[in-house]
Amino acid sequence: MRGMKKENGTDRQEDSRGNGQGNSRNNSQGNSQEDRREKETDRGEDRNSRNTQNSRRGIVVQVLSYMKKYRLLVCLSLILAAAVVALTLYVPILTGDAVDLLLGKGNVDFAGIAGILKKIGAAVVITAAAQWVMNICNNRITYHVVKDIREDAFHRLEQLPLKYLDAHAYGDIVSRVVADVDTFADGLLMGFTQLFTGVLTIGGTLFFMLATNVPIALVVICITPVSFLAARFIARRTYSMFRLQSETRGEQTSLIEETVENQKIVRMFSREEAVEGQFGEMNERLEKCSLKAIFFSSITNPVTRFVNSLVYAGVGIFGAFVAIKGGISVGRLSCFLSYANQYTKPFNEISGVVTELQNALACAGRIFELIHETPQIPDSPQARVLTDAEGNVALEQVCFSYVPERKLIQNFNLKVRPGQRVAIVGPTGCGKTTVINLLMRFYDVNSGQIRVDGTDIRDITRGSLRTSYGMVLQETWLRAGTIRDNIRMGKPEASQQEVERAARAAHAHSFIRRLPDGYDTVITEDGGSLSQGQKQLLCIARVMLCLPPMLILDEATSSIDTRTELKIQNAFAKMMEGRTSFIVAHRLSTIREADIILVMKDGNIIEQGNHETLLAQGGFYASLYNSQFAG
């Protein structure tokens, strides 16, 4: 379980000798060094700030690139937003005109007010309809963009080399594709529904206020920068906090997934308290970074409300003096006060949107990191499609290591003729499974080459190469679905008779028949109530159905009882006739009939031959074989 491994971090401590030397120097030198360190720290913080800004700018550009596909919907949404804002701002003008028609007792223009009320009613109806259509457009844009991003992320997952998946926690990857995309969708939807209309409302109210009375409008404009400064202050601090929150949440998701998946192991080794402590530490970190992010985001509402009050008070006081001097009518002043209220209201919404957008951009950054990860080297356009492989395999001067500084396989040479059975044995960690990974091209060699039927496998399409191999691993993999679907995974068009024939050959038919629905029994992705041996029999049946020209059996009978293993060995013997086969096994009794036995140690072949020859040599293989019967 990766989540239970302690991180081998190196604790950085200050060098006490440096402190002693510093005390022996004069004060001026010490001060100058401190000044330099402070300047370097400041420069480092400036660089980090610039990198964050560039990162956010790049994320926004990528989001916009996804939206290009839906630019017609975006344009329609903007037009509708402008119409909603224009009509919303038109209503206060009509209200002000109606107020001016109330001249006094017995002096009211009812006909004029009735006409204005009709206009207000029409404006409200049109605004509601435009708002409804705009929301539909925004939802379609948001969830189409999110769908495209998820598809690209999942497509990239299938293209990534195995070394990326081996180096990253599965839970964190799942968190990026699921939780982070959902958070991004919420922020993007809020941006469409509130940001556009908010900005247009601010711009529209300023235009109408300037057109109505310039001096009062200038009061509003002078107080406006306070809101922008507050929003900028909050935005700069919330992005990094929300990103840290997303990363910590992904780490926590990984631990939860691994703990639930391996609950039996956790309980078997009494690791409940240790895992609980690890989860508590992650939860505490998530709490701290979430509190910081929420604290800064929660400042926005009080700040913008304070600015709103300033604007409204400024318009009311200054407008009253102007009205007293006859510079504006009472109706126009009421219109202005309404505009002041509408002008400040979007700042509340925009400030909330800015906070959500920071969270959304932080999550989007993690998604785009996955999407832009370097994929595995694609197949060459001239790559050969391997069909009807003969099974002639050669490894020439192959060198490979997972980590450059730790050598594993060095100058590995092997030639296998069609139909030969090659067994690979050796102590744990000697490179047996690594050879299988290289044959299947899950990893590419660092140097040397592997040839199949005379062609370098790097010049063969991955799909056709892997289709030419039938592979049964020690670790079983089943998908959620019926027993039948799991068996015919490599041959979806197989008939029921073919499926049953493969199951009988793998000695799985008897236990399948005893299941509640037989071959139609639905199992979960971990096999549900099936035993480890039964799951392995299904994987063997899967290969029996396809019968490719080359076979790889990596501890294929490790979870099967001895009696069933003898039957499976007989089935394998028939299946391997005329097929090149690579067999990895710890129980050496299972490979006695192999044509070639490769004895590996530390990534090198130290012995080679058949069973009798290697026993007669009395070397490492003989000691391994005899150790099975020791005591």
Query: How far are the Cα atoms of 432, 516, 517, 518, 538 from residue 511, in angstroms, in the given order?
Result: 32, 10, 11, 9, 10
Residue type, 253: T
Transcribe 468-482 into DSSP letters. Answer: TEEEE-SS----SEE
Same domain, 98 and 154: yes
pLDDT digits (tens, 9 = 90+) for 99-156: 777 755 666 777 888 888 888 889 899 989 998 998 888 888 888 888 888 888 888 8
Domain that holds residue 251: 30-371
Same domain, 345 and 485: no
Single out the residue in 320, 339, 371 at which a domain terminates.
371
Same domain, 508 and 584: yes
Same domain, 407 and 353: no
d(CA 226, CA 220): 11
- pLDDT for 133 equals 92
- pLDDT for 586 equals 66
Same domain, 457 and 530: yes
- pLDDT for 387 equals 84
Does the residue 20 lie in any domain? Answer: no
Q: In CATH, what number is assigned to the domain containing residue 623?
A: 3.40.50.300
- pLDDT for 17 equals 36
d(CA 364, CA 462): 31
SS (H, E, C) 369-438: HHHCCCCCCCCCCCCECCCCCCCCEEEEEEEECCECCECCEEEEEEEECCCCEEEEECCCCCCHHHHHHH
- How many other CB atoms are found less than 10 A from the CB of residue 22? 12
- pLDDT for 18 equals 38
Please count the structural domains in the chain. 2
d(CA 525, CA 13): 47
Does the residue 356 lie in any domain? Answer: yes
- pLDDT for 595 equals 86
Same domain, 316 and 436: no
Does the residue 333 lie in any domain? Answer: yes
- pLDDT for 356 equals 72
How far is CA 242 from its chain centroid?
16
CB 516 within 8 A of CB 544: no
Spell out, as residue ranges, where the chain has pLDDT lower than 70. Answer: 1-54, 56, 103-107, 192-193, 224-225, 227-228, 230-232, 234-237, 239, 297, 300-301, 304, 308, 330, 344, 347-352, 354-355, 558-559, 586-590, 628-631
Same domain, 341 and 423: no
Same domain, 318 and 173: yes
Same domain, 563 and 621: yes
Single out the residue in 371, 401, 420 at which a domain terminates.
371
